Structures are given as C-alpha cells and as structure tokens.
Structure 1
Amino acid sequence: MVIPVSIDLLILQFDRALQTLAAPARSRRPVPGASLLECELDAVQRRHVIGLMRVNHCGEVCAQALYQGQALTSRDREVRCALRIAADEEVEHLAWTERRIAELGGRTSLLNFAWYFGSFTLGVAAGALGDKWNLGFLAETERQVEAHLDGHLRILPVEDVRSRAIVDQMRLDEIGHAKMAVHYGAAELPLPVRFSMRAVAKVMTGIAYRI
C-alpha cells in the first residue's frame, strides 16, 4: 500500500530535522533537578557522566527522528497525533540532556546527523509495515530505553543528583510512551527482532559514549 505524503509535510519534517540537529532544544516543563545543588565530581567521574548524558542525548535525537518517521507513514490519524505528542516530549528530553552536558563542560555526539537520519529511515519503514507493527516497534524501543536508563541510574554517581533527576524523569516519560503504544494496539515483536534491536542499540551507545 502506497502512503501519500504531501510536499508540505515533507517540508515540515525537514524543518523538524534542522531544529533537532542545528538549534538548541527548548523545554516547556522545568528541567528536573535544576533547583538541586551541583556536586563536586573528579575528572574521571565528570568524563563518565558526560559520556552517559551524551548517550542519553543521542538516544533522544534518535527517538525524535524515529517518531517523526513513524508519524509520516502511519495510516491512522489518531496514532499520528499520539506519535507527534510523544515526539514533543522527546524534545524536552533533548533540552534537559543538552543543558546538563553543557553544565558539565562536555559536548553532544559528533554523529548526531547520522543517528537522526538512520533512525528516521527506520521509523518510515516501521510505519509502512502497518500501525500495529509500527506501534510494536515503538513499544519495544521504549522498553529497551527504560532498561537502559535504569542501568544509568545504577552507575551514575550517587552525589550527582542533578543528572539523576533528569534520567529518572526521562525514564518515567518513556514508560508512558510504551503504555501509549500498547493502548493504541501495539503488536508484540518477534524475539529475533527484539534481540537485533538490543544489539544495534549496544553498538550505538558504545560509540556515542566516546564520540
């Protein structure tokens, strides 16, 4: 089935990509932990936290692209609307992680351009498979992100309450996105697909931690 896509919609998608990759992200909600005191981190701890937050920022770039690609090819108007609302929340996550990286004196991933367009392509492909698989891919992605953020909460320095507050709120939001996908009829992905997604994510996070 060919899904018609208007020129106006393609222009909007291009504009969204430019905003994600080339402009500072903005948050409507207060930044979690912004009122908490900054902690003293040694050089090793600081590099580690910057690496973890860069991974999280990279993940949000990918999520933004994934949602936009899925919404572009989704057949159901209500699903498209839900995906775009979720994408707006991911912009807030971008803003939070971007700000925290800057506070720590770090930088975001040099490969964000590649992460974005690779994830956008995956999103378009997922949407083209049909809404139940589209949503299934989204639900599984968010479950894996939740597990990934749980892992970060275990290894972030206990005293770095500002970073931990951001990661914890992101985790709660991702749980909500997974529940949203299930509510709209997400299908359970086959086990080999889920394993493949984990393997790809592991490679990506390893690269983003350093680059």
Structure 2
Amino acid sequence: MTVRQLTPLDRLIAGFERALDTVAGAPEARRPTPAHGIAEAELDRAERRHAAGLMRINHAGEVCAQALYDGQAALARSEEIRRHLVHAAAEETDHLAWCAGRLRELDSRPSLFNPLWYAGSYAIGAAAALAGDPVSLGFVVETERQVEAHLAEHLETLPEQDQRSRAVLRQMQADEVRHADEAEACGGVELPFPIPPLMQLTSLLMKKVAYRI
C-alpha cells in the first residue's frame, strides 16, 4: 500500500482545520483528565471566579501553544524535528481539552481573544522556524520553562480546596518540564537577549487580559 506524501497545500488545509478546532474548543483529549475521580469542592463566588480566571489563562496559554507548535512544524526544516513538534502538540491538545472541561465545570468560558492569541502565536512560531531548527527548539525550551513557572504561581494561588483544578495543573506542569527537556536534548539553543524578556512581557499581557475576558 502506497502512503501518500502530504503536499504544502495539504499541510496548509490541515493546519487551518487544526486552528478552527483549537479556537472553537473542539479538540478531544487522548488521555483522561487528571481530575478524574476527584470530588468537586465547595467554592464561594469569589473563589470560583478566581479559579475560572486562572483556568482561562491556562486555556489561552494552550491555544498559544498549539499555534506555536503548528507554526513551527509547518516550516521545520527537518522531518524528524517536525514529528517531534507534532507529537508535543498532541500532548498540548490534552491540556487544551482539560482546561476547557474545567472551565465548563466552573460555569465559565474561554477567553474571547483566543483567535487573536492563536494568530499571533502562529506567526511567532513560523518566524522561529524560519530561523532554523536549533532556534525553533530553543524557543520551545524557553516557552515551556516560562509556562512551568506560571503554572507554579497558579498552584500557589488556587483556592486550596480546588483539587480538581490543581490536579490538572500539576500534570500540565510535569508535561511542560518534559517538553522543555526533550527540545533541549534535540538541539535547542539558548535564545539571545532580549527575546526571553520580550516573551515574558507578551505572556504577562496575555495573562492579564485572559484572566478577565
């Protein structure tokens, strides 16, 4: 049986479909939610609103992650690196679905700016890929390190009794650490100044907006 090779147009169409799925909240997780079997906690209105705000930030972050990986994979120079990025993106899809599910449980919704987050992140991912695979992988390393740090902050500020959200964030954090380590092992290089602080500034803006809108 002959396996058909995807053309650039095929990949463009597939990427557009992934973008629609991501922004519309359609992706399905391959792994069960880490919150499975954990009872829902009693949260007052302020606690529920705060937990939802944090999960909305994390959902928006996963929209950005999907876009970054899609942009990087589309222009990766090595087929091996492209497969690595696609595999990591699949695990990030789990995170996206878990966060979406948790938002529904908290009677909330994703950020209204998700299409903007996706478009901007895709452009950044594509630009990183154009700089070459080592830089693209270095971008993955830096991104995942920053995500790991903000997840740690969220774990500290979540309502203590919200163990369902906490379980999701802990598994996400473990996955992000592994993704960074794997990208580094594949040849990711350290990004030069001022790229890391600019990434932090962009992330801070996204978090402030996504928490509320």
Same-fold call, TM cutoff 0.5: yes
Q: Tell me how far apart the structure 2 counterparts of residues 12 and 197 of structure 1 sit (CA, whole Å).
A: 27
Amino acid at match of 2:56: R
What's the TM-score, normalizing by structure 2? 0.95
Amino acid at match of 1:173: D
The residue that corresponds to 1:131 in the other structure is 133
* Per-residue Cα deviation, 1:56-76 (whole angstroms, up to 9, x for no partner): 000000000000000011101
The residue that corresponds to 2:105 in the other structure is 103
Amino acid at match of 2:35: G
The residue that corresponds to 1:13 in the other structure is 15
Amino acid at match of 1:109: S
The residue that corresponds to 1:61 in the other structure is 63
* Per-residue Cα deviation, 1:46-91 (whole angstroms, up to 9, x for no partner): 0000000000000000000000000011101111000000001111
For the 8 Å contact 2:25–2:100, the answer to whether it is kept is: no
The residue that corresponds to 1:50 in the other structure is 52
For the 8 Å contact 2:65–2:121, the answer to whether it is kept is: yes
Q: Tell me how far apart the structure 1 counterparts of residues 68 and 25 of structure 2 sit (CA, whole Å).
A: 18
What's the TM-score, normalizing by structure 1? 0.96
* Per-residue Cα deviation, 1:6-26 (whole angstroms, up to 9, x for no partner): 111111111111111124221
List runs of 5+ in structure 2 lacking aligned partners.
1-6
Q: Report deviation, 1:192.
A: 1.5
Query: Following superposition, which runs of at least 4 residues in structure 1 exceed 4 angstroms of deviation?
Result: none
Q: Tell me how far apart the structure 2 counterparts of residues 17 and 25 of structure 1 sit (CA, whole Å).
A: 10
Q: Report deviation, 1:122.
A: 0.5
Q: Report deviation, 1:203.
A: 0.7
Percentage of identical aligned residues? 51
* Per-residue Cα deviation, 1:136-177 (whole angstroms, up to 9, x for no partner): 111000000000000000101111000000000000000111
**1:79 aligned counterpart, secondary structure:** helix
Amino acid at match of 1:30: P
The residue that corresponds to 1:27 in the other structure is 29
Q: Tell me how far apart the structure 2 counterparts of residues 13 and 103 of structure 1 sit (CA, whole Å).
A: 29
- Asked whether 1:201 is paired with 2:193, we answer no
**2:194 aligned counterpart, secondary structure:** helix
List runs of 5+ in structure 1 lacking aligned partners.
none
Q: Tell me how far apart the structure 1 counterparts of residues 40 and 208 of structure 2 sit (CA, whole Å).
A: 27
Q: Tell me how far apart the structure 1 counterparts of residues 25 and 144 of structure 2 sit (CA, whole Å).
A: 25
The residue that corresponds to 2:159 in the other structure is 157
- CA 1:186–1:163 in structure 2 vs 1: closer, same or farther (change >3 Å)? same
Aligned residues: 207
CA RMSD of aligned residues (A): 0.9
Amino acid at match of 1:206: K
Amino acid at match of 1:93: H
